[in-house]
Chains A and B, each alone.
Chain A
Amino acid sequence: MANNARLIQEITTFLATKSLTPNTTWLTTNLATLKPDIHLQGAKQLIYIRLLNTSLQSTIQITPSSIFPQDILNGNITSRLLKGPIPVQVMDIEDIGKSRWSQLEAIEADERGETTRGQEIVRVVRDEEDAERDQSATQTSSPSSGPHKLLLQDAKGLRVYGFELSTVTGINMNIHIGCKLVLRDVSVARGVILLEPKSVTVAGGKIEELHQTWKAGRKENLKRMANAGSSTQGG
């Protein structure tokens, strides 16, 4: 056990390279569950993976720079820069480049096993002319190309929307709920975080039960949002 302090030191340094600073309680409890004979490299990886797959609220050391500022949601601030690094987790994600209805149709086609057969069962076959005729309706079912809108949560549990200003590798509709991102020198405009490759690192991970709930409710959610959109439409 004399080694414990050194182990904590090693792991903390390792996690710092990922811009993640765990709180001591979480780290010590977790180290206690490790097999005594585990070698250092294995311990680092194991702790890292556990951290990615656990809610930030119980893992991260809260300091003023590792969480969102209190007034982040203030809509009057047109532009500000957060230095960070701020670890956040994805609580929700939407592809706002496509209508919800078309996404719902794509999921249903997929459930029927029809999109997996490639070219041969193309249900929406369009000729050039047809495509020109109704460009306003985006009914195609290409893979998620975004941009995406995410609901991000910091270690204190504050939730803020993020918008993918330019394509960030790793952000797509296959991302898991609970996935960790690290934000650094990130712009915030009127309470919305603007995500760009230079300011976002996708660390990975998921929170299993949140992800399952989200996945199970996705169709209902899309349906609800599509209907909400059409009813506020008024005229």
Chain B
Amino acid sequence: MVVRRILCVAEKNSISKAVAGHLGGQYQTGNIRGTQYVKNYSFDYTFNNSWGPSSVVFTAVSGHIMQQEFPSRFKNWNNTDPWDLFEAPIEKSIDEKNQPIANNIKQHAQRCSILYIWTDCDREGENIGAEIRQIALSANPRIEIKRAHFSNIERTHIIQAANNPLLLDDNQVNAIESRMELDLRTGAAFTRVLTLSLQDMIKAVDPELGIISYGSCQFPTLGFVVNQYLRVKNFVPEPFWSIKITHKKEDEKNKKPDQRPITVNFNWVRGHLFDRMAVVLLFERCLNAKFAKVIKMERKPTSKWRPLPLTTVELQKNGSRFLQMNSSRVMAVAEGLYQKGWISYPRTETDQFDREINCQALCQKQTQSREWGPHAQGLVNGNFRQPRRGTHNDKAHPPIHPVNYVEKSTLSHEEQKVYEFVVRRFLACCSDDAKGEKTTVAIDYGAEIFNATGLIVLHRNYLEVYPYEKWEDSQQLPEYQVGETFIPTEAKMTEGKTSPPHYITEPELITLMDKNGIGTDATMAEHISKIKERNYVESRPATAAGRLAAASDEGDTAPATRGRGGARGRGRGGRGGATASARGATRGVEEFVPTTLGIALIEGYENLNFSTSLSKPFLRKEMELQMKAICDGQRTRNDVVQENIERYRAVYMRTKDQMSVLKAAVNKYIVEPERSNGS
């Protein structure tokens, strides 16, 4: 009997190993000459489809295998006009480091009848899948190509996926191709023209300067940081005035012996005004009125909504806020948890659970925990609520959720924190909203209105398992009757001062990038790391952020990251890279301050007065939307590339023509900072 031979290729070794374990149970491990990171796992498996009993070799790549670059005649910066890079041919070839991996694929492809692609199910993974396909076809043109669809590494899910092979989605492949081409062309052209024009000036004062690197996501990201920095720097504090009323009143309803009267604080509905004269007049009218009159007394149920299902952007923002980890670190740790099969794929935009996902069963798995088990048990016993549905669905992955229960002690310190957050968030999603009662008393005092509110939390519900949010009882209000009048115990006019905005923090930067279409949820953390690496911004702990003792938390694995969106198409980010640089970074919420180079570049570009400035998000946002259009089959790769090249060419022309404007900014901030930049 002829046994079918199937070559399976995952995106990273940890995935191939895990999937091989689920399918084969027992497997043989084979080494690959020239690389120590990727292995071949061989086993027999009977597919529950037309393939039947098969002999499987499960191997992996390590992110992108191929790289795009210009032919060598364009590589000399001094002989090549950067302008030509917008049209220069691009060669796609196997990255030298990946040659052993490619050879391994070719070798097995020759003997197999089916190539089964198991790269991660997102655009980048689809594109890596196409690279694997190209390599396999070069060795065996008749090999059949299939693609597995999976979103976590949990056993039943994997088996289900294995038995239902699909096809590669070439629209997604093309979207990534066009993005990589544009990133390569614009990155190289602008990096060269900026470096060649400005480096002599800067090197005179800063001999350390490397190249001035441009990336279509990094510049707008830097733009956000600089913009906020300038807001802080230019800020002028201003005084404002307000009126505060207090009233001491016995709580007649719950009278107890020797109970002191309750002091009720009433706040002015106008908040505060920036004109002293006006407030003095209004305050005088209050005092002249003598009596305050109750115009509203209202008790009504209120609730605090449970959170939405977890997306990547939310995970990153919360990571900074609650877990003392920056966004790239959180993603690296989450990636590790995913590879080990504890959580679902952590790169997702979806904030609604499909009906097929049995959330209740997932809660059941968490009942064994000593910490959140009792809450999970409560959900299983009848408190379970179907999670709220957000408005996003990337149609590829469910929201991030725990796939299996794992004993915390088997995880590293950082993994524990991220896993615990993912679990608690999920359980919170499946719990009921917190319920309370809100009391509002409004008074009219000299025709001005003042409010006092009180809150009683009646049922904490999701808050029981989600300590990251707070909702506390406030002071109880005594009974008032509408129409009742009283003389306030104290009425005073207060004065305050506006406080400056703070430097942009990581969660805020991520929010801005997200809202303005800079990068995808999966790449934002990398863009932020890039502008740090390139010395355009510095990060530091946000003011007043408590510094937590850096407990020993070296991860026991160093998850591979992919060089997503990397401008120069360096292929995979490999081990290290962004992850390594983030490890040494400060814990806690980070805030970003631009370097003089960062400010000079952004101010220079803004002074070019170009509506599609590189420092603004518009160009990149458009491009990101066009990627989506390619994925949806509405536009072609060629069309999108051409349109964008034309736009960037226009910006390039302007840059070149008005280099003096950029030079002036460099001069102002870097060459002669003390002269023009007093403070």
Contacts and interface: CB of A to CB of B under 8 A. Distances in A.
Interface string B299-343: 000000000000000000100010000000000000000000000
A98 interface: yes
Nearest to B499: A137
B236 interface: yes
Most B CB contacts (10 A, CB to CB) among A97, A99, A134 go to: A99
B496 interface: yes
Contact of B238 (A100, A147, A165): A100
Given A99-B238, A122-B515, A137-B501, A189 B281 contact: yes
Nearest to B496: A136
Interface size class of B (residues with CB under 8 A): 35 or more
Contact of B231 (A98, A105, A113, A161): A105
B273 to A, nearest CB: 5
Interface in B609-640: 611, 617, 621
Given A78-B284, A121-B617, A99 B512 contact: no
Contacts, number: 97
Interface stretch (A6-14, A62-70, A207-215, A223-231): A223-231
Contact of A125 (B238, B499, B502, B515): B515
Contacts of B237: 230, 233
B474 interface: no
B511 A127 contact: yes
A79 B240 CA distance: 25
B275 A233 contact: no
B274 A96 contact: yes
Interface string A164-194: 0100000000000000000000000110101
A139 B234 CA distance: 14
B498 A136 contact: yes
B238 A230 contact: yes
A120 interface: yes
Contacts of A101: 235-236, 238, 498
A233 B239 contact: yes
A214 to B, nearest CB: 18
A163 B280 CA distance: 12
B548 interface: no
Interface string A123-165: 1010101100010111100000001010000000000010101
B278 interface: yes
A226 B238 contact: yes
Nearest to A194: B281
Contacts of A233: 237-239, 497
A125 B273 contact: no
Contact of A163 (B274, B281, B317, B617): B281
Contacts of A138: 271, 498
A29 B240 CA distance: 49
Contacts of A96: 273-275, 278
B277 interface: yes
Contacts of B540: none
A149 B275 contact: yes
A98 B382 CA distance: 50
Given A120-B516, A130-B508, A134-B499, A229 B273 contact: no
Contacts of A98: 274
A97 B271 CA distance: 9
A137 B500 contact: yes
Interface string A13-57: 000000000000000000000000000000000000000000000
A193 to B, nearest CB: 11
Contacts of B370: none
Contacts of A136: 496-499
Given A137-B500, A163-B281, 7 more contacts: A123-B512, A125-B511, A136-B499, A163-B275, A163-B277, A223-B236, A230-B239
The 6 tightest CB contacts between A and B, nearest first, are: A96-B275, A229-B238, A226-B236, A137-B498, A99-B238, A137-B499
8 contacts: A97-B271, A101-B238, A134-B499, A147-B270, A165-B447, A189-B284, A189-B285, A229-B238
